[in-house]
Structure 1
């Protein structure tokens, strides 16, 4: 696979193979990530539909055979699942740094993810939830480490090819995310749920095979453990993990024995953990006495941006839950007589990212040459106002639909607006996280950024668990207003936040 995408290097030997002018190992990581994202987004496109299938909240005429859950429960499960994927990125990075090394961690992650999709391909609730846990854990292990290996391919941060290499790598993410709903989504939703989940397993298997065959092209640093645990540390970690597992086993054993166990016994603790852990991590870093005055100030500014990002992801990630359910039940499934699956809407975001990202990159450079480029804080404010605007727009087709259906163009417009908001906030957030990270936490701060996604998704999960229907006009308007007000607040206090950020712009 990789060889078909490589070409002769312009090196003096003329014989070294490259991948679009980049180290050949990038082809291995590009294809691995593309297939992993294909499996992940394909499964995610099916998730909410499978959960409600056969129940009262499924669309009229939809395929049966699912778990027949209410929309509120399905949204809660979806939100908790997505939040756990991002939460697991932090321990995933820790395993790569201290236990297995990046290459071994990604290999194990691939097998775990594939096993999870195979479990999802089996009927019944037990294998389904086991599959979700495996995919979440595996995705967290892989997410943090595969990007690290991309960095290993280049000669330090000043290598002029480095930024371009990451750009090519992220194209693999979007290619996989674009194709998955069209293939896995259509097969799973329109024909057979479990066959769709099995296709996701096949996608991960192809990615894993690509990785194992191409590891010889990776940098040797990818096999090293940068900061291995000492024997004493390893013993301490194992003791703590064993104690926690034993305590949980005893607690849930008692709950089950008393006949009191329901799904909420699992969902509520996970949701609360997804809200408490980000706060605890930020407080721990903020209270570290080793931080200089400048680093303390930067963390104060970063907390503003972190909260803003959490509000953004709270709305954005409902593209796979609230908007998906509306797409199936309230949106016509054809254009010009051509019918399509509601899962296809999930391909819009990666399509718009691939189309608009170069435009935004050019726009920021053009404005920078004119000395008019918005700074990081203004871009964050723009992203929040735009994501809020997408839900204000959503209110219109919700009102129009009634007992009928609306044009697909409403959802196309909403997803496009959300992508524009994403391009204002997400790339900037990744960049500013590395710039504002205290030296002591430089390697951990990317995981902290992902915790904003965890917090935002857990907030919607908590609302769903409380019985709040996220497709109600009132809650949609409230979320839209929260985002818009947060954006305006950051813009109004931009000078204060800028002062806290020091020299970071």
Structure 2
């Protein structure tokens, strides 16, 4: 259970109607905006350094991993962060409620970042575990609380609220590489990780102070866990932990343990668990026929998102390695660390998101459906790897290519992301059965897990060939074809969504 200091005041009554707003939205949106901004500052700052730290030689304070192994580790780690969003949603639905769960999450994430700051390899990996657990607790629930601010699922402000919320994500993500990346690469890796912990501490503090503005629904536990269920759950958890301890103890004792013993099981689990959860939700007799049909329709969006994130999330691994090894670190006389490339995507989003949001509103009845927006996102992300194929060709023979290549890649990816990601958050809250509100948001994040796990498995199998020109070309073509398939099949998907558009 969370400590009193973390949960005090988290069940405050609803704020009175009227009063101050946040850009025309409830004031609770400001609290969630700031919390997510600082959490993303800490996460993306750490992410900008992670692969660079893993591949850096020991003489420079790094771990001297092979690039393909570091990329696979990054993909599995990122997948695990989103994988744990599902049990994080379950904990909110059955034990603590979203508001309390997010408070605990902030404390766990902060602890994890400070563990990364300790220059000991064992402590470093423990810190990654803490951040993954805390992020899983926070991700699904903070987005769910945005939805709670708008009881009417068809409130016209709802999509706009998620766009504003998305801006908070990207404001933190933009600043993080410039601050944390610079300190980590040019001063000390572990000092950079410590700055990420400071950012999360600021976010947690303002969340505790501003939580009184959140919707009362955010404090409610939708389906509390009964006493007998708690006992059964504890027994199952103990059994699985014991089995894992015995298995990995035997591997360690045999002297054959390598990082692949962790990467392969987690990658396969990241593909199996989404299928399990979808089957479980659809077979639940407590959900209505209309809700079951909507879940079926949602599966299409899940698969499309998984394909999208398979490419998009390589910005922190494959593209980071390309930026460090094959891209010039200066432009127009200005020198900068390679981690700064990680700020391009959030910069583009902050510049373009308001115009995209206004475009959807101005189009009115001509506004593309959710399925069409998803198709645009897939085609766009595929095209970005077509550009990467050309960049990789230009870098052949040891040539350092212009930073403008990556600038164009991130621009194309940003436009694709704006077509898919905010819309995906919104459609998830609209299609979710009432019983599984938090867990369905967790399922949305499991799409990231599935995509990252596919990337990790291919990276483990292909090795350095995953960074080749042919790899970029194949991935780009596959994803473009997936986008075309969504366009062709949209007339089968839309009827499953019922009254949701």
Which residue of the other structure, out of 40, 44, 51, is the alignment partner of 2:47? 44
Match of 2:367 in 1: 373
CA distance in 1 between counterparts of 2:361 and 2:463 reads 43
Unaligned runs of 5+ in 1: 1-10, 56-62
Q: In the alignment, is residue 179 of structure 1 matched against residue 179 of structure 2?
A: no
Match of 1:141 in 2: 137
Deviation at 1:211?
2.3
Deviation at 1:50?
0.5
Tell me: CA distance 1:415–1:237, structure 2 relative to 1, closer, same or farther (3 Å): same
Match of 1:412 in 2: 407
CA distance in 2 between counterparts of 1:12 and 1:51 reads 50
Q: Is the 8 A contact 2:88 2:442 kept in 1?
A: no
- Give RMSD over aligned pairs: 2.6
Q: In the alignment, is residue 229 of structure 1 matched against residue 232 of structure 2?
A: no
Stretch of structure 1 that moved more, 273-282 or 207-216: 207-216
CA distance in 2 between counterparts of 1:486 and 1:379 reads 13
- Is the partner of 2:223 in helix, strand or coil? coil
- Is the partner of 2:366 in helix, strand or coil? coil
Which residue of the other structure, out of 416, 419, 422, is the alignment partner of 1:421? 416
Unaligned runs of 5+ in 2: 1-14
Tell me: CA distance 1:472–1:164, structure 2 relative to 1, closer, same or farther (3 Å): closer
TM (normalized to structure 2)?
0.89
Q: In the alignment, is residue 71 of structure 1 matched against residue 74 of structure 2?
A: no
CA distance in 2 between counterparts of 1:38 and 1:450 reads 19
Deviation at 1:179?
0.4
* Deviations 1:384-420 (CA, angstroms, capped at 9, x unpaired): 1111100011111111112111111110110010011
* Aligned ranges 1:102-141 → 2 under 5 Å: 102-141=98-137
Match of 1:310 in 2: 306
Tell me: CA distance 1:151–1:291, structure 2 relative to 1, closer, same or farther (3 Å): closer
Deviation at 1:285?
3.2
Which residue of the other structure, out of 336, 352, 355, is the alignment partner of 2:351? 355
Deviation at 1:305?
2.5
Q: In the alignment, is residue 275 of structure 1 matched against residue 271 of structure 2?
A: yes
Question: For this pair of structures, how many residues does the alignment match?
Answer: 485
Deviation at 1:141?
0.7
CA distance in 1 between counterparts of 2:147 and 2:297 reads 27
Tell me: CA distance 1:136–1:351, structure 2 relative to 1, closer, same or farther (3 Å): same
Q: In the alignment, is residue 462 of structure 1 matched against residue 470 of structure 2?
A: no
Tell me: CA distance 1:223–1:288, structure 2 relative to 1, closer, same or farther (3 Å): closer
TM (normalized to structure 1)?
0.89
> Could you say which structure has the greater relative contact order, defined with CA pairs below 8 angstroms and 6 or more residues apart?
2
CA distance in 1 between counterparts of 2:148 and 2:435 reads 21
Match of 1:5 in 2: none
Which residue of the other structure, out of 53, 57, 61, is the alignment partner of 2:56? 53
Match of 2:383 in 1: 389
Stretch of structure 1 that moved more, 143-152 or 183-192: 143-152
Deviation at 1:456?
0.3
CA distance in 2 between counterparts of 1:248 and 1:344 reads 39
Tell me: CA distance 1:147–1:305, structure 2 relative to 1, closer, same or farther (3 Å): closer
Match of 1:345 in 2: 341
* Deviations 1:369-390 (CA, angstroms, capped at 9, x unpaired): xx43322222222111111100
* Deviations 1:290-327 (CA, angstroms, capped at 9, x unpaired): 66665555444433332221111100000111111111
Match of 1:323 in 2: 319
Which residue of the other structure, out of 192, 201, 204, is the alignment partner of 1:196? 192
Stretch of structure 1 that moved more, 142-151 or 212-221: 212-221
